[in-house]
Amino acid sequence: MGPTPRSTVQRLPERGRYDAPTIHAILDEAYICTVAFVVEGSPIAIPTIHARIDDTLYLHGSNVSRMLSTLAGGVECCVTATVLDGLVLARSVFHSSMNYRSVVLFGRAQPVTDRDEKVRAMRAVTEHVLPGRWDEVRQPNAKEIAGTQIVSITIDDASAKIRTGAPVDEEGDLVLDIWSGVVPLTLMPGAPIADRPELETPGSVRAVTTTPRGH
Amino acid sequence: MGPTPRSTVQRLPERGRYDAPTIHAILDEAYICTVAFVVEGSPIAIPTIHARIDDTLYLHGSNVSRMLSTLAGGVECCVTATVLDGLVLARSVFHSSMNYRSVVLFGRAQPVTDRDEKVRAMRAVTEHVLPGRWDEVRQPNAKEIAGTQIVSITIDDASAKIRTGAPVDEEGDLVLDIWSGVVPLTLMPGAPIADRPELETPGSVRAVTTTPRGH
């Protein structure tokens, strides 16, 4: 895997990363991605849940999803996923920013028609949203598998862009008595709202509410 | 403002919302958006910070930003912003989902060249990331204003899509002793990391760390 000109980070290239472990970790941590594609010359972008197995990204949805049917036709797409890590509060407006980890991935989707691969992808999506959940719930039946459309995109033409750490102020601003620093951000799970509180909270839910994703 | 065919929610249309207050509130709460556009027939999508004033969305960046220069040329773009609200954990794989609020907005960007409008947009971006911050920090100087590129997009061809509440299980699954429910998600600010801890924590930072955005 290596970046092509289109996946090479242009602005602030020192923030660009191209290694698979970095790209995969961001895709795994981000709950959702945004999928962009072109219809009759115009851009369309839609947020959706994704999942990854090795170097394959899966998107799923209903058999009647316009987005998935379009993607399954093999058109080019661009998938982005972003994790926000903090507010970067400089002494000046100009150097204020955010800490983030993002991925931009270019490719063409392929329809997943093999039943076993479909089920593996459905499992990956379930486990992406909440690790351990697949084994706790009712598995998809034949009708549900048939009603689910899945496409795969190979993760090879991709880049990550990452900003971490403190604000970088102008030398001349450092003497100003203006508070600067970072406010970390975490996508924090709250107390579960159970449909039947008498049932024991399952391991998957206990795990995510104890340790927020990425921590 | 009203949806056109392209901004009308296709899948699960009961989740679609088209009123400005709903669309504006989601854009205001989401720290970042993803901007999709077409270059030589191919889709490109890039995450970026945005801000809103009335029915105008602003994007900003460096004067040498490829994305902003492309947008400023008046090409069509599609902006999406998503707030994640929770994991929806049904009794079955098939009905598991997420709670979310998203906006999809179509338009064409216009370059902002008027100095006063540029400064108003820079203020909006600063206040979007952290309300109250503009008045606490050094304002942009002439060189910084000149080095910043800003485009505006009118928010009129847009839709929101919202899922809230508990999982919706199959009737036949309700008898199963499988835990179901929702795990709420909140983008939670952590303890500020100050560059000079001896300075008093400013009001903007105290406010966001006391009350997470959207709460």
Q: What pLDDT, on the 0 to 100 scale, is given for residue A6? A: 82
Q: Can you tell me the distance from the alpha carbon of A106 to that of A7, in angstroms, rounded to the nearest whole number?
A: 7
Q: What is the pLDDT of residues A45-65, one digit of tens each?
A: 999 999 999 999 999 998 888
CA-CA-CA-CA torsion sign (B139, B144, B148, B150): positive
Q: Do the chains contact at A186 and B188, CB–CB below 8 Å?
A: yes
Q: What pLDDT, on the 0 to 100 scale, is given for residue A9? A: 83
Spatial contact of A149 and A62, defined as CB atoms under 8 Å apart? yes
Place of tokens 């930003």: B65
Q: Which of A39-48, B3-12, B22-31, B116-125 has the lowest mean pLDDT?
A: B3-12
In a domain, A46, yes or no: yes
pTM, 2 dp: 0.96
Q: Can you tell me the distance from the alpha carbon of A157 to that of A108, in angstroms, rounded to the nearest whole number?
A: 10
Give percent above pLDDT 90 in chain A: 88
Kindly tell me the burial class for residue A168, based on how many C-beta atoms sit within 10 Å of its own C-beta (0-12, 13-18, 19 or more).
exposed
B81 → chain A, closest CA residue: A47
Question: Rg of the Cα trace of chain B?
Answer: 20
Cβ burial B171-196 (10 Å sphere, 16+ → b, else e): eebeeeebbbbbbbbbbbbeebebbe
Q: What pLDDT, on the 0 to 100 scale, is given for residue A214? A: 83
* A181-189 vs B193-194, strand pairing mode: antiparallel
Q: What pLDDT, on the 0 to 100 scale, is given for residue A13? A: 84
Q: What pLDDT, on the 0 to 100 scale, is given for residue B2? A: 60
In a domain, A140, yes or no: yes
Q: Can you tell me the distance from the alpha carbon of A101 to that of A161, in angstroms, rounded to the nearest whole number?
A: 6
Q: Can you tell me the distance from the alpha carbon of A205 to that of B96, in angstroms, rounded to the nearest whole number?
A: 13
Give me the interface pTM, i.e. the ipTM.
0.95
What type of residue is A120? R
Q: Do the chains contact at A140 and B79, CB–CB below 8 Å?
A: no
Kindly tell me the burial class for residue A26, based on how many C-beta atoms sit within 10 Å of its own C-beta (0-12, 13-18, 19 or more).
buried
For chain B positions 145-184, those within 8 Å of chain A (CB to CB) are 148, 166-167, 173, 176-184
Spatial contact of B144 and B65, defined as CB atoms under 8 Å apart? no
A201 touches chain B (CB under 8 A): yes
Q: Do the chains contact at B93 and A140, CB–CB below 8 Å?
A: yes
B138 touches chain A (CB under 8 A): yes
Residue A27 pLDDT grade (very low, low, confident, very high; cuts 50, 70, 90): very high
Helix (H, G, I), strand (E, B) or coil at A179: coil
State how far the alpha carbon of A72 is from the alpha carbons of A129, A152, B62, in Å: 23, 9, 36
Q: How many domains does chain B have?
A: 1
Q: Which of B4-18, B21-35, B122-136 has the lowest mean pLDDT?
A: B4-18
CATH value at residue B160: 2.30.110.10
The answer, yes or no, to whether residue B1 has pLDDT greater than 60, is: no
Q: DSSP characters for B88-151?
A: EE-SBSTT-EEEEEEEEEEEE-EE---HHHHHHHHHHHHHHHSTT-GGGSBPP-HHHHHTEEEE
The answer for residues whose C-beta is within 8 angstroms of residue B78's C-beta and 6 or more apart is: A36, A42, A43, A44, A45, B35, B36, B37, B104, B105, B106
Of the candidates B157, B207, B164, the residue with the CA atom closest to the CA atom of residue B184:
B164
In a domain, B60, yes or no: yes
Residues of B in Cβ contact (< 8 Å) with A130: 87, 89, 96, 183
Q: What pLDDT, on the 0 to 100 scale, is given for residue A12? A: 82
In a domain, B30, yes or no: yes
Q: What pLDDT, on the 0 to 100 scale, is given for residue A1? A: 52
Q: What pLDDT, on the 0 to 100 scale, is given for residue A31? A: 98
In a domain, B103, yes or no: yes
State how far the alpha carbon of A199 is from the alpha carbons of A145, A195, B176, B185, in Å: 28, 9, 11, 22
Domain span at residue A99 reads 5-170
Residue A192 pLDDT grade (very low, low, confident, very high; cuts 50, 70, 90): very high
Q: What pLDDT, on the 0 to 100 scale, is given for residue A207? A: 97
Q: Do the chains contact at A140 and B92, CB–CB below 8 Å?
A: yes
Residue B9 pLDDT grade (very low, low, confident, very high; cuts 50, 70, 90): confident
The answer, yes or no, to whether residue A167 has pLDDT greater than 80, is: yes
Q: What is the pLDDT of residues A76-130, one digit of tens each?
A: 999 999 999 999 999 999 999 999 999 999 999 999 999 999 999 999 999 999 9
In a domain, A108, yes or no: yes
For chain B positions 46-65, those within 8 Å of chain A (CB to CB) are 46-47, 49, 61-62, 64-65
Mean pLDDT of chain A: 95
In a domain, A33, yes or no: yes
Which of the pair, A70 or A3, is modelled with greater confidence?
Answer: A70
In a domain, A60, yes or no: yes
Helix (H, G, I), strand (E, B) or coil at B164: coil
Helix (H, G, I), strand (E, B) or coil at A209: helix
Q: What pLDDT, on the 0 to 100 scale, is given for residue B14? A: 86
